[in-house]
C-alpha cells in the first residue's frame, strides 16, 4: 500500500509542532523524521485503525481499508496534550463518554480542512482556526484531505459555568490573538514533552494548571453562556489560589481571603451550601500533591514529600493520609509503582477493552 502519511508528511508535522524546528538533525529510521516523533508516534491503519482511534465516536470513510492516522499524546495530570495526522474521514459523536467521564476536546487545525456539524448548523474549521468537541452534545467532524489537529483534552469539570455552551456538542472559537497564541502553546508544549518526558511533579502540576487556564480563557470568548455568575467566578478563583499556594504549609484560609480581597466571613459565606468546606478543599489539594510526590521517581523520604505537599512534617502527612486516603503513604507508594492509567475517555478503544474494570 502506498502511504499517504509518508516521511515527508511526518517530517512536516514535526516541524509544525516544534514551530519550524522539528529536530531534523535527530533522525531515527527514516531521513528527516526526528527521533522524538519516531519514538512516540502511534500508527493506526485500515478499518481496525479507525475502530481503535474512535474511542467514543463512530468513524466512516469512503475507503476504510485505506485509512491512516498518526497520533501523539501526552497525559498531563487530568489533561492530555495530543496531535493527530489523519487521512479523510468523518467521525460522529453521540452524547456521553465512556466510563461516565465527560470531556472536552479542544483543537486547532494546522493542515487540511475540517467541517463541524452540530444541531445549530455547519461551520468550517479552516487552517489556523480552533474549535472544540464536547461529549455533552452530539456533533460530527468531517476531515477533508490529510488533516492535522493539535490541542488538549480536559474534563468537563474543569469548565464550571460553561455547560450550556458545551451542550452544543461542537463550535469554533473566534479568531483572536488569544486563540492563535493558545494553538501555538499546545503545539510547542506537546513537542517539548515528547522530547523530554521526564519532568518533575511540580512541572506536571504547573503545566496542567496552565492548560486548564488556557482552555478557560478560550471559552470565555464564547457569548451566551450565562451560567457563571460572580459567586461562581470567585469560587473558581479561590480554587486557583489554592492550587497555586497549597504547597506552602503556612498557607491558611485567612491568607486566601486576603488574596481575594474579602473578609474571612465573606469567604466562608461564599462557600456556604457547597458540598465541601474550604479547609477540606485545601486538605484535599495537599493530599493530591502528596500522592503525586509519593509516586515520583527517584523516591523521596516522607519528610521531603510532606514539605513539598504543604504539610508541617512527616507525622502530619502520615496521619492525614491514613485518615483520608485509607492507606499509609508507604502502602500507597508501593501500589503506585504499577503503570498509571489514563482516564477511560482518553484511551484508544482497544486500550479501554484491556483496562481492568
The arithmetic mean of pLDDT across residues 141-155, rounded, is 92
Q: Is the pLDDT of residue 228 over 70?
A: no
- pLDDT of residue 252 exceeding 50, the answer is yes
- Position 99 scores a pLDDT of 55
pLDDT in tens, 177-207: 999 999 999 999 999 999 988 877 778 888 8
Task: Tell whether omega for the bond before 238 is within 30 degrees of 0, i.e. cis.
Answer: no
| Phi, psi (rounded to 5 degrees) for 111 | -155, 150
As a whole number, the mean pLDDT across the chain is 84
The secondary structure element, H or E, covering residue 142 is: strand 139-155
Rounded (5°) CA angle 112-115-117: 160
Residue among 96, 69, 94 at smallest CA distance from 83: 69
pLDDT at 47: 85
d(CA 120, CA 328): 52
In the chain the domains, ranked by start, together with CATH numbers, are: 7-224 (2.60.120.10), 230-335 (1.10.10.60)
**pLDDT computed for residue 231 by the predictor:** 75
pLDDT of the residue at 16: 93
C-alpha cell belonging to residue 104 = 472536552
- Provide the sign of the torsion angle of the four alpha carbons 113, 117, 118, 123, taken in this order: positive
Q: Which residue has the higher pLDDT, 346 or 42?
A: 42
Distance CA 99, CA 147 (A): 29
Contact assessment for residue 34 and residue 22, using Cβ atoms and an 8 Å cutoff: yes
pLDDT tens-place string over residues 66-75:
999 999 999 9
Q: Is the pLDDT of residue 317 over 50?
A: yes
The pLDDT of residue 224: 52
DSSP letters for 42-104: EEEEHHHHHHHH-SSEEEE-SSGGG-EEEEEEEEETTEEEEEEEE-SEEEEE-S--GGG--EE
Rounded mean pLDDT of 10-29? 71
Burial class (CB in 10 A: 0-12, 13-18, 19+), 42: middle
pLDDT top residue among 341 and 297: 297
pLDDT of 118: 78
When pLDDT is cut at 50, 70 and 90, the band that residue 55 belongs to is: low
Q: Say how far apart CA 227 and CA 297 lie, in whole Å.
A: 42
Instruction: Please give the average per-residue pLDDT across 205-220, as a whole number.
Output: 90
Query: What predicted TM-score, i.e. pTM, was given to this entire model?
Result: 0.67
Grid coordinates 467566578 are at which residue?
Answer: 233
User: Following DSSP, what letter does each residue of 262-285 receive, concatenated?
Assistant: S-HHHHHHHTTTSSS-HHHHHHHH
Using pLDDT thresholds of 50, 70 and 90, give the confidence band for residue 248: very high
Among 33-42, 92-101, 236-245, whose mean pLDDT is lowest?
A: 92-101
Amino acid at each position: 500500500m502506498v502511504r499517504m502519511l509518508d516521511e515527508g508528511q511526518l517530517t512536516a508535522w514535526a516541524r509544525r509542532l516544534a514551530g519550524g524546528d522539528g529536530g531534523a538533525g535527530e533522525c531515527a529510521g527514516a531521513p528527516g523524521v526526528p527521533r522524538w516523533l519516531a519514538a512516540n508516534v502511534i500508527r493506526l491503519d485500515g478499518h481496525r485503525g479507525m475502530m481503535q482511534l474512535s474511542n467514543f465516536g463512530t468513524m466512516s470513510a469512503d475507503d476504510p481499508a485505506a485509512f491512516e492516522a498518526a497520533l501523539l499524546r501526552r497525559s498531563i495530570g487530568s489533561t492530555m496534550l495530543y496531535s493527530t495526522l489523519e487521512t479523510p474521514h468523518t467521525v460522529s459523536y453521540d452524547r456521553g463518554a465512556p466510563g461516565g467521564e465527560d470531556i472536552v476536546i479542544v483543537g486547532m487545525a494546522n493542515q487540511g480542512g475540517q467541517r463541524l456539524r452540530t444541531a445549530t448548523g455547519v461551520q468550517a474549521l479552516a487552517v489556523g482556526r480552533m474549535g472544540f468537541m464536547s461529549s455533552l452534545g452530539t456533533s460530527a467532524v468531517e476531515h477533508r484531505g490529510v488533516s492535522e489537529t493539535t490541542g488538549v483534552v480536559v474534563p468537563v469539570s474543569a469548565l464550571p459555568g460553561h455547560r450550556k455552551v458545551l451542550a452544543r456538542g461542537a463550535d469554533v472559537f473566534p479568531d483572536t490573538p488569544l486563540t492563535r497564541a493558545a494553538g501555538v502553546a499546545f503545539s510547542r508544549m506537546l513537542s517539548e514533552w515528547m522530547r523530554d518526558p521526564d519532568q518533575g511533579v511540580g512541572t506536571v502540576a504547573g503545566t496542567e494548571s496552565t492548560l486548564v487556564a488556557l482552555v478557560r480563557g478560550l471559552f470565555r470568548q464564547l457569548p451566551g453562556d450565562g451560567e457563571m455568575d460572580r459567586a461562581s467566578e470567585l469560587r473558581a478563583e479561590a480554587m486557583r489560589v489554592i492550587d497555586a499556594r497549597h504547597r506552602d504549609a503556612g498557607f491558611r484560609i485567612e491568607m486566601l481571603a486576603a488574596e481575594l480581597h474579602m473578609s474571612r466571613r465573606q469567604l466562608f459565606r461564599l462557600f456556604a451550601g457547597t458540598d465541601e468546606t474550604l479547609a477540606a478543599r485545601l486538605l484535599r489539594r495537599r493530599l493530591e500533591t502528596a500522592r503525586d510526590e509519593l509516586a515520583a521517581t527517584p523516591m523521596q523520604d516522607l519528610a521531603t514529600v510532606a514539605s513539598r505537599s504543604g504539610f508541617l512534617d512527616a507525622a502530619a502527612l502520615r496521619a492525614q493520609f491514613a485518615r483520608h486516603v485509607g492507606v499509609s503513604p508507604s502502602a500507597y507508594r508501593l501500589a503506585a509503582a504499577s503503570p498509571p492509567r489514563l482516564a477511560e475517555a482518553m484511551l484508544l478503544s482497544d486500550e479501554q477493552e484491556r483496562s481492568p474494570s
